[in-house]
Structure formats: structure tokens, C-alpha cells
Structure 1
């Protein structure tokens, strides 16, 4: 029950996520195929629960829940193939191959439907472990559905293995999880086909083998879903980590920015309209404020640098002023500027970055801001 609840929760979460992405990009064929894969899985999952299956059968007839569940699983595998077909081909070739793949799908569903139709009513209410495989309709049902599953999953595994070699980073990790799940599914599907034929021929199969194969198949489903979601989840996690880091740096710049903004309010970049509180709640909002605060701090330091240089006559202009000493003299330099003191004739390097990227510049500004906070608290 706990595993079923966990799997159901994962499927609903995955479906909501992909549906929201598809709403933003409805023409993305790969994303649409992934979303339909998860939708079929989410729809088929409750039909595998005994209570739901009994209720559906009571409304529609014996065996309909089982037929619907298996048909949805077959359609899921078809859309899984479409994910790779659309990824590896242009629109015309992908659509053509996808239409051809409808033939084995329709054949499998048609044969399974026919098999369920010719199966006597009392024989339809069964699980795989308890099914009477000597009944032709029952055996045909499992053989038709199982054969297509093995075919579709094996084809998807081939495409996945090919893409693993061409990918890297989170995508490769996700594809490896998918490949592991598909490998287990193909092996267990092949095993079930063998067991079905053995039981159809009158042979006996250990119950433990049937139960073990089913348990492994149940485990591979969340592994498969996790593999599909992993690349996007990893990317989102890195985005959130970057957002959190820049939010911390933005806040740590506050003492330096406040001091400089009071002296040079005209350097503020806030004239560009923003989305107000809605902008603050969006992930991109902090990036905009982060860049703006860093630029405003740097502009202010450039303007106050000559006044700092006057307080550090003994230092070479090309030698960066250490953050601690810059923090000590910053208030005095800002006071001199505010009082209208003439601009000294030379400047000095302050919080000079070691690299050319903005993040390195921000690290030096934050070091100065931290030193300024410490100096102010100790004064």
C-alpha cells in the first residue's frame, strides 16, 4: 500500500509538472510525447488496484479494467518510442515513422480485445499469477500484450543506449536510469512471455518466480519515471541553488550599497520599471536585482576611489586596497565627498576582481561589504 501511494504521488507530481511545461510549448512533439507517456501511466495505475478494477468491472463488465489497463500500457510504450523518433528525426520523418509504429500497436490492442471477448466471463476476473493459461483467450491476451511490450521497450532501450553515448551531465544520468529500468522491463517481459507459453502448454511455474517478476516490474516503473524527470529536476535544482547563492550575495552587499547609495543616489539603476512584489517572487527577479546592485556598488567605488587614495598616500595606485583598510576609510571618504571636497588627482584600486566575470567582481565587493559591516558593528 505504501509503495502504491508513493508511486501514485510520483506520477501525479510528474504529470502536473510536464502538463505545465506542455502548456507553455504545445508544439514541442518530444515534450508532448513525454507528457502522454506519464498520462497513460497515471491512468493505468489505479486500474491495477483491486478495488478500482472491481468497481470498473461492475460498471462495464468483467475484464474491462484489465483490458483498459493493458491498452494504456501499450499506448505508453508507443509514446515512449515517439520520444526518440521525434528527437532523432525531422518533423516529416518522425511523423512518418510514428504512423508506421501505430500498426503493431493497433494489432496488439486488437488481438488483446479479441482475446478478452472470447474468454468466458468467469475466466476474465484474474491476475497474471492466478490466470488459467490453458484457456486460449487468456493465453492469447497475455501473449499479445506482452509481445508488444517487449518489442516497444526493446526498441526504446536501443534508442536510449544510443543517446547515452551522445549525452553528458544530468541528461546522461537520467538516460542511464531509464536504460536500467528498460533493461529490467525487457528481461522481465521476456520472462513472462516464456512463463505464459510454459503454462499454456500445461507446464507448472513456481509462484515465487511469478511474484518476483511482478515485484521487479513494479519497482522499475518509478525508476523509469525518475529517469525521465531527472534532467529537468537537476537543472531546476541548479537554478534554485544559483538563485539562493545570489540572494545571499545580494543581501551581503547591503552595507556597502547603502553607504554608496546615500552618497550617489543618482547612480541608481531603478529607473527601469520592474514587476514590484511579483518580480521579487520570481526566480529571475533576484538575478536582475543582483546585477543592478553589483553595478551600482562598482560605480560608487569608482567615484569614491580618489578620496580613498588621498587617505592612503603611501600605497601604489595599482595595488588593490585591502577590504579591511578600505572599510575603515570609506566613511571618511564619503563624508569628504558629501562636504564638497575637491576630487583628488589620483585614484586607487578598490575591491579589484581577479577575473573578468561579474560573479568574481561580486565576491570582491562582498568581501568589502562584510568588512564594512564588521567595522560599523565594532565602532
Structure 2
């Protein structure tokens, strides 16, 4: 794209992040090898990871593994355009039956082949010694115009399919897809800015500093600042929104279980001291906040069942429980009686009753 590379630390972080995500997705593919959308997304990340060192070499006009900068730029954008197709395929396989998605995927390969062919021809026409961002050279300008036009086409198609997929997705995913589609629209608009900007530079128009410090047109610079960067941010927010909301919901459940586990402490401490043989911690492999929470709830309820025949019904429950736990009882064959039974069904209602008893037990004399 016209905006080129940003600061080197950001590029390094991008490259490392792409490799880490690629390894993570490859591990997921081993678990679900038939997941076609995951294959498409893995292809996208793989293309990004491969394009990173090639783009870095082309930006610095250096030879890497014997590959000249112009060829590095060609391969970089070849895999980037292929990555755009992988992104399109991700939404196709997510929104359509497999046969129909495969058919449309093959159709999208036709404009990709045309674009890559043009990039290859223009690369061979670049004179020796000319940098890959010398937009005043016709072959270089044609290379970048082709790349930007295809990027605009690919991201526009992705945005359209993201909106179509959002119609049938659940609420959280649908909102994320709509946010991502707005970001994709911003990227498309930015690409549309870059094309006339390249034409202006090709015609010898006035240059202005770009994001990476090279000479670009003012039109291309503002296109990147006003549309490209916000578009990328919105696209990333949209893509990560469903997972982030899921993690937030999981954290809320984790926090609720941790607080309930702590509030059940007084009740569990008394019952565990009286009936230590019922402790589930003797079972190997039981750990984590959620498991400790469920274990404590079960142990509290089991302890109440065992002590319930000896509770004095004339006393307050917390006081009667303390008295019964301090008193030695013969193991008579008495029937258990209901203790701290909630008015409604469900584990949460049961835990609320146990917490109320636990807090009453803490202050009872």
C-alpha cells in the first residue's frame, strides 16, 4: 500500500505476533482438522507472517537470501493478496454450505490470478537500481495501483460477507462483525485515496511526508491517517469483540465463584472440622476457583445433611447449628431433615441459602 511501513518496533511486534498466532492456530487445526473457516484464517495469518520479513527487506532496499528488493516486494504482495482471499474464504465458509463456499472461493481466485500476473509483469519492467517506492517510475506506479485496487476489492468483498454473516450470527458475534465491516469500509476508502495519490506522484505532484518518513502526496497521507488507521483499529476491535466479551463474562463468573467460595468459609470451616472425612480435596486433580467453589458447596450441603437430625428446631438455625456441632452425638439411625432449603430451584438459589447461613453462623453466639 502507499503508506508503506511504520516504525520498526511496530513491524517487529507485528512479525512476532503473527508467528505466535500462526503456531497457536496450527495447534488448533490439529484438534479440528475438518474446520474449513479455521483453515482459511490460518492461511491468512500464515500469509501475514511470510510477508513480514519480505516487506521489511524491500522497505530497506536490501537483499535477503539472494532475493532482490523488487522480488521481495512482489512475493510480499503476492502473499498479502492471497491472505485477503483467505479472509474472504473465512466468511464464505462461515456463512455458506461447504459446496457453495468452495465454488465462490474458486471464483475469487480469478481476479487474484489477474492481479498477481500484473504485479509480476510490472516487477520485471522495473529498471535496475530503482527503489520499489519510486512512484514516478511507471512500472512502480502500476505495481502499487494494482495492489491497492485489489486490496480495495478484497476488503470490500470481505465487508459485504461479514454483514451477510452477521444476519444469522448470535447477537455478540453479529455486533463484532458489524464493527469489523465498518473498519473494512475505512480500509477500502483509504485504498481509494492511495490510487489517485500514486497517480499524482507519478505525474510529479508535490510530495509530503508519509507515515514512514518517505515522500508521498498529501492526499495519500491523509487517506492513511483519516481512514486506514481507524479502519484497522475498528476491524481488530470487531474481530476480537466476541472473544473479549466471552472472556469478560467468564471473568465475571470466576469472580462470583471466588466471592461465594470465600463467603461460604465460616460454614465450611465448622462442618469440615466436624466431618473431615467428607472433604473432597482428597480426590487428586481437583483445583481451580470453579472446582474449589463447587467442592465447597457440595461439602457444605453434605455436612448439613449429616448434622440436620441433631438441630434444635426451637432455636435460630445458626445458633442451633453451632450447638449441634459442639455436641457429641451417637450415630443413631435418624432421618435427615431439610435445612436451608431455597424457595426456588437451581444451584444459585441453593448457594444463596448456604451463604446466608454461613454469614449468620459467623456472627452467631
What TM-score bracket applies, with the shorter chain setting the length? Answer: 0.7 to 0.9
Which position in structure 1 is the counterpart of 2:211? none
The separation in 1 between residues aligned to 2:241 and 2:336, in whole angstroms, is 55
Residue 247 of structure 2 corresponds to residue 236 of structure 1 = yes
Which position in structure 1 is the counterpart of 2:38? 31
1:132-143 aligned within 5 A: 132-133=136-137, 135=138, 137-143=139-145
1:146-157 aligned within 5 A: 146-157=148-159
Give ranges in structure 1 of 5+ residues lacking alignment.
Answer: 313-324
Which position in structure 1 is the counterpart of 2:132? 126
Report the 3-state secondary structure (helix = DSSP H, G, I; strand = E; otherwise coil) of the residue aligned with 2:342.
coil
The separation in 1 between residues aligned to 2:63 and 2:232, in whole angstroms, is 23
* 8 Å CA contact retained: 2:58, 2:73: no
The separation in 2 between residues aligned to 1:33 and 1:346, in whole angstroms, is 59
Which position in structure 2 is the counterpart of 1:195? 197
Q: 1:154 offset after TM fit, Å?
A: 1.0
Give ranges in structure 2 of 5+ residues lacking alignment.
Answer: 1-6, 208-216
* 8 Å CA contact retained: 2:57, 2:63: no
Report the 3-state secondary structure (helix = DSSP H, G, I; strand = E; otherwise coil) of the residue aligned with 2:62.
helix
Residue 291 of structure 2 corresponds to residue 288 of structure 1 = yes
Which position in structure 1 is the counterpart of 2:219? 209
**Structure with the higher helix share, 1 or 2:** 1
Report the 3-state secondary structure (helix = DSSP H, G, I; strand = E; otherwise coil) of the residue aligned with 2:33.
coil
Q: Give the superposed CA RMSD.
A: 3.2
TM-score (norm: length of structure 1): 0.78
Which position in structure 1 is the counterpart of 2:111? 104
The separation in 2 between residues aligned to 1:362 and 1:17, in whole angstroms, is 38
Which position in structure 2 is the counterpart of 1:317? none
Q: Which has the higher contact order (CA 8 A, sep 6+)?
A: 2
Q: 1:39 offset after TM fit, Å?
A: 2.9
The separation in 2 between residues aligned to 1:114 and 1:268, in whole angstroms, is 74
Deviation readout 1:292-334 (Å, 9 max, x if unpaired): 321231232234334334342xxxxxxxxxxxx4333312112
Report the 3-state secondary structure (helix = DSSP H, G, I; strand = E; otherwise coil) of the residue aligned with 1:210.
helix
TM-score (norm: length of structure 2): 0.81
Q: 1:172 offset after TM fit, Å?
A: 2.8
Deviation readout 1:269-300 (Å, 9 max, x if unpaired): 567x542xxx52xxxx4433322321231232
Which position in structure 1 is the counterpart of 2:345? 356
The separation in 2 between residues aligned to 1:43 and 1:3, in whole angstroms, is 16
Q: 1:141 offset after TM fit, Å?
A: 1.2
1:1-379 aligned within 5 A: 1=7, 3-4=10-11, 7=14, 11=18, 14-15=21-22, 17-49=24-56, 53-56=60-63, 59-123=66-130, 125-127=131-133, 130-133=134-137, 135=138, 137-197=139-199, 202=203, 204=205, 207-215=217-225, 216-265=227-276, 267-268=278-279, 273-275=283-285, 279-280=286-287, 285-312=288-315, 325-336=316-327, 338-340=328-330, 347=337, 349-350=339-340, 352-375=341-364
Moved more, 106-115 or 75-84: 106-115
Report the 3-state secondary structure (helix = DSSP H, G, I; strand = E; otherwise coil) of the residue aligned with 1:63.
helix
Q: 1:179 offset after TM fit, Å?
A: 1.1
The separation in 1 between residues aligned to 2:68 and 2:334, in whole angstroms, is 93
Q: 1:150 offset after TM fit, Å?
A: 1.6
Change (3 A) 1:175 1:56: farther
The separation in 1 between residues aligned to 2:63 and 2:231, in whole angstroms, is 26
